[in-house]
Amino acid sequence: MVSISGSKKLKRQMAPQFWGIARKDKRFVVTVRPGPHKKSDSVPTAVFLRDMLKIVTSLREAKTAIYSGRVKIDGVVRKSLHHAIGLMDVVELENVSDIYRLVPSEDKLLKPIKIKESEKSKKIVRVISKTTISKGKLQIGFHDGRSIISDSKVNVGDTCLIQIPEQKILEIIKLEPGCQGLVTRGHNTGQIGKIETIEEGTFILPKRVILSLEDRKIEIPADIIMPIGKEGPIIQLK
């Protein structure tokens, strides 16, 4: 059997800050393998259990939990130490009552929060691509690597509330003025505000959004905004 290309480890000094690992411990740490999220915007399953949740104390214990099928991500059992867990992913652990969702916060790019049992089958995903295929249907690509074929009318930048793991679209949230938007990256990560206006992109400038926060208005690229509802978040984000 051939091995999958790419290194399975990363120097600790090069790991993202939000992983929460000790910098002066061992030289290397397990890394993210190619998968649903970008390497810079995700955390490997082993690091998530050991360093973010701290429910295991060593890599050996993390291996035992993962290889025995005790970890579910978005309702699917994942048995890889290197599986990428990223924005809006829902994590369940066997024999642990708490259920977690990864969301951006004001101090971290990704932070696990505890959610209710009734919310574990719901997830918000951002539309990053759409392609018209046969019979007028759309193939829709989302930020977490998944894609579905649907008759739903969506645009790039909109978000969908989906049921996991079935991938059924429950609701579509349009990127439009008056909607609540969550900042997913950058200096204002984790901030939620009202979308005032949307500026179309030009040859040198990307599509931009004017977002009204509590005491100020900011102009940021549309690709780091995630619509989350009309009056407020339609799922738990804090």
Contact (CB, 8 A) for 230 and 176: no
Q: Tell me the per-residue pLDDT of 198-218, one tens digit each, with 9 for 90 and over.
A: 999 888 888 999 999 988 899
Q: What is the pTM of this model?
A: 0.90
Domain-embedded: residue 3: no
Whether residues 161 and 186 share a domain: the answer is no
What is the CATH classification number for the domain harbouring 32?
A: 3.10.290.10
Whether residues 75 and 23 share a domain: the answer is yes
What is the CATH classification number for the domain harbouring 135?
A: 2.40.50.740
Count structural domains, the chain. Answer: 3
pLDDT at 236 over 50: yes
Whether residues 111 and 139 share a domain: the answer is no
Whether residues 15 and 109 share a domain: the answer is yes
Residue 129, domain extent: 122-173
Contact (CB, 8 A) for 32 and 42: yes
Q: Tell me the per-residue pLDDT of 70-128, one tens digit each, with 9 for 90 and over.
A: 999 999 999 999 999 999 999 999 989 999 999 999 888 999 999 999 999 999 999 99
Whether residues 107 and 135 share a domain: the answer is no
Whether residues 97 and 70 share a domain: the answer is yes
Torsion angle defined by CA atoms of residues 56, 61, 67 and 68, in that order, rounded to the nearest 10 degrees: -80
